[in-house]
Amino acid sequence: MTPVRPLFYNIHTNYKWAEPLTYILGAVAALIFLIGVYKHIKKWRTGRNEKFPLFTKDRLISFVKFALFQGRLVCDKYALVMHLGIFLGMCVLFIGTALATIDQDVAHLVFKNQFLKGSFYLGYKLFLDVFGFFLIIGLILAIYRRYILKPERLKNFVYPTFPYDSFYLLIILLFIAVSGFFVEAVRLAATKVPWSHYSPVGNLLAGLFTSMSEHTLQSLHFTLWTLHGLAALAFISLIPQSKAFHIFSSAANVYLRNLEPAGRLPSGELSGASKIADFTWRQLLQFDACTWCGRCQEVCPAYISGSKLSPKNVILKLDNELLRFSSVKSNGVSNPNGETNVSEKKEGDKTLQETIFEPSEIWACTTCRECEEVCPVFIEQPRAIIDMRRYLVAQGIMDKILQDALNSLNRYGNSFAKSDRMRARWTQGLPVKVKDARKEQVDCVWFLGDYASFDPRLLTITQSTAKILSQAGVDFGILYEGERNSGNDVRRIGEEGLYEVLRDKNLDAFTKVQWKNGSKLIITTDPHSYNTLKNEYTIDGVVVKHYTEFFNDLIKNGKLVIKKKLNGKVTYHDPCYLGRYNGIYEEPRELIKSLGLELVEMPRNRSRSHCCGAGGGRMWMEDTAEIKERPAENRVKEAALLEDVATFVVACPKDLAMFKDAIKTTGNEGKLVVKDISDLIAEAMEIQ
């Protein structure tokens, strides 16, 4: 007896009227689904145009890794098993249903021959049983986590666009999966086919029904089959109107994600985003792709500190506004001249900043990118926030300290309100004159940034770095008064125009550099400058390196000689703009270990490093009243818990300033001391 898939078992013989009804209801469900999908696509198309290559090898690889196999969840084993069970279970069962339909309606009816037979059919049954079981396990894990464990990040404000909670979706899916197994079990109990063991779950459940009569089994089968089918069709119809749509929108967003360097902020409108239509269509897709998982909120330094900002709620609010806007636009009546009616104009005149966001919420972001780093579907929360900041900047809605800093940057080219002629004052007293790279030939240019040039707390470190370069035989120079603030944080504040002014002046200075022997190398001690010089400036043929990369290379090549090995345990903080933005994690660690020090990692390290709180212009803003604990204080407390660690090592001028203050305010003076890596190198080289 050849194994073959039964065609409409029981239905074909006893309930023939149900066959055509199944196709009719299936067509209706598919139509409702397609209309819903069209409405989503129509929503996305209300955004501005954004062009990028659609079909690339990298996109396909990314889709397989992060959409199909949930690559962003590898650090959360519970979530990984849960999501893989649900996603892959649904995908396999969908494919199995599609194959069964083709087998029924094409292979059998057209070609009079089924392909779901023999060994292929047995493998098909086993595969579907296994993945159906995985689906049930994934759903049970989801229900347990959401309604028993109840992690804080999953708590949500009431989402007005969808009246059903996740609970109903999970229950419907669970019912579909379980009822499918029971339909199979009753059929196996009635037919008693010898290959039933290839359906291990169904075969196990079939034992519950073996004592029933054939008539009872057929009636029970029809009842379960009907309930299972109606639930499946109802779920298909509900997908576009529910949270379940993220199965499609999230997958689409993963495929269409930004493949440019993380540190390259896409250009936006200078006037910023004050309405939902001011975002690009890809950003609107991102808002629709949010899975509400709250991972972004859980790691956000602003949220942890007690501010009003939650990156999760930012995206959910924008998604809700997108739906509201598309509803108003769909219902609005246009006059013969193409102008919308008065009521729609009133709706359209309201800005996001007036209706759903407070300025303090938007200004709280440190642009650390940790939210974006942990997002399983690659939503760019900082980009959306920066777009909204641009509008606030255009309207002058910001605190006074930030306004003063921008005025200073505009007038002097630095945030310290110092004359550009004072930028190189730190070179006075050095044993060797530092070259002016615009006038003398050099192998590399050292771009210092504002803090290394002007902050009194950092000048000794800046001088030590110059001595290290000199003793290592590096032929370097600086731009003197030609250097301006790189504009990295200015751009993340939302002052795109000022950023362009600063960038152009720096680029003009770089064109005057007297490069020696065709070498074009820029080094910088500031990760913020490193990011924008490397990713956002256009300097042909120039290589940009952070000083930790450069010094690590010098040690490996024997050009930087360590005279004495240092002792003790230290911990190291990964700067956001060096680590998450540019993937520089190992070079600073190799450098620290080469000095003889034992590196003890903080629990949050590398891509999970907790922000110091200075980025995105926060260095120039006042803390608001709701702040309970600054990000730098939170980080220092984490370091203070490490056993026998007395040195907190940094590789960013802003980090040094922030953490020195935090050590005082947290009462850790005497227990921890903050040192720049240059301090440690100078000590190992015995530089005075």
Query: Where in the chain do CATH 3.40.50 domains reside?
Result: 415-556, 569-684
The pLDDT value given to residue 31: 97
Higher pLDDT: 57 or 355? It is 57
The pLDDT value given to residue 236: 94
Q: pLDDT digits over 91-139, tens only?
A: 999 999 999 988 887 766 677 788 889 999 999 999 999 999 999 999 9
Is 383 exposed, middle or buried (CB count within 10 Å of its CB: 0-12, 13-18, 19+)?
Answer: buried
Q: CATH assignment of 11-254, given 3.40.50, 3.30.1120, 1.20.950, 1.10.10? A: 1.20.950
What is the Cα gyration radius of the chain? 31
Query: Where in the chain do CATH 1.20.950 domains reside?
Result: 11-254
* Cβ contacts of 397 within 8 Å, gap of 6 or more: 353, 359
Q: pLDDT digits over 143-174, tens only?
A: 999 889 988 888 776 454 444 467 888 999 99
Per-residue pLDDT band for 644 (boundaries 50, 70, 90) equals very high
Per-residue pLDDT band for 140 (boundaries 50, 70, 90) equals very high
Architecture of domain 569-684: 3-Layer(aba) Sandwich (3.40)
The pLDDT value given to residue 99: 92
Span 483-498, average pLDDT: 97
Hey, what are 403's tokens? Answer: 């306004």
Q: Helical H runs in 413-477?
A: 450-454, 459-471
Q: pLDDT digits over 319-375, tens only?
A: 989 988 887 776 654 443 344 444 444 555 679 988 899 999 999 999 999 999 999
Domain 415-556, CATH:
3.40.50
Q: Strands, E, within 14-152: which ranges?
A: none
Whole-number Å distance between alpha carbons of 113 and 104: 9
Hey, what are 542's tokens? Answer: 């120039």
Whole-number Å distance between alpha carbons of 454 and 431: 20
Q: pLDDT digits over 179-209, tens only?
A: 999 999 999 999 999 999 999 999 999 999 9
Determine the Cα angle at 377 with ends 60 and 148, to 5°: 135
